[in-house]
Structure 1
Amino acid sequence: MKILSPRVLRALERFNATYPWDHNAHYHRWILRQLPRRFPRALDVGSGSGDLARLLAGRAASVQAVDSDPAISAQARKLTPDALPVTFTVADAIAEFPVGPYDAITCVATIHHLPFTEALTRFRRHLAPRGTLIVVGLCRAQTPVDYLLGVIAMPANAATGWLKNKGRPSPRPVSMTARTRSADMTFDDIVREARNVLPGARLRRRLFWRYTLVWRRP
Structure 2
Amino acid sequence: MSPPPRLVLRALERFHAARPWDHNAHFHPWILRQLPGRVGSALDAGCGTGDLTRLLARRAQRVHGIDADPEVTARARELTPATAPVTYTAADALTGLGERSYDVITCVAAVHHLPFEEALRTFRDHLAPGGTLVIVGVARERTPVDRLLGIASVPLNIVMALLKNRGRHVPRPVSMTARTRPADLTFTEIARQARAVLPGVRLRRRLLWRYTLVWRRR
Q: Does the 8 A contact of 1:17 with 1:175 survive in 2?
A: no
Residue 209 of structure 2 corresponds to 209
The answer to which of 111-120 and 95-104 deviates more is 95-104
**C-alpha separation in 1, matches of 2:113 and 2:122:** 15
Per-residue CA deviation, residues 68-118 of structure 1 (Å, 9 max, x unaligned), is 111111111011011110001111111222432100000000000001000
Q: TM-score, normalised by structure 2?
A: 0.96
Q: % of aligned pairs identical? A: 62
Displacement after TM superposition at 1:163 (Å): 1.2
- 5+ residue gaps, structure 2: none
Secondary structure class of the residue paired with 1:190: helix
Residue 200 of structure 2 corresponds to 200
Residue 71 of structure 1 corresponds to 71
| 1:1-218 equivalence runs, <5 A | 2-174=2-174, 180-218=180-218
**C-alpha separation in 2, matches of 1:179 and 1:39:** 31
Kindly tell me the number of residue pairs found equivalent between the two proteins.
217
| Alignment-mate amino acid for residue 62 of structure 2 | S
- 5+ residue gaps, structure 1: none
Q: Displaced runs of 4+ in structure 1, greater than 3 A? A: none
The answer to which of 75-84 and 188-197 deviates more is 75-84
What is the root-mean-square deviation in Å for CA atoms of aligned residues?
Answer: 1.5
Secondary structure class of the residue paired with 1:49: coil
**C-alpha separation in 1, matches of 2:175 and 2:90:** 26
Q: TM-score, normalised by structure 1?
A: 0.96
**C-alpha separation in 2, matches of 1:122 and 1:100:** 11
Per-residue CA deviation, residues 153-197 of structure 1 (Å, 9 max, x unaligned), is 001101111111111111322479x97200000000000000000
| Alignment-mate amino acid for residue 79 of structure 1 | L
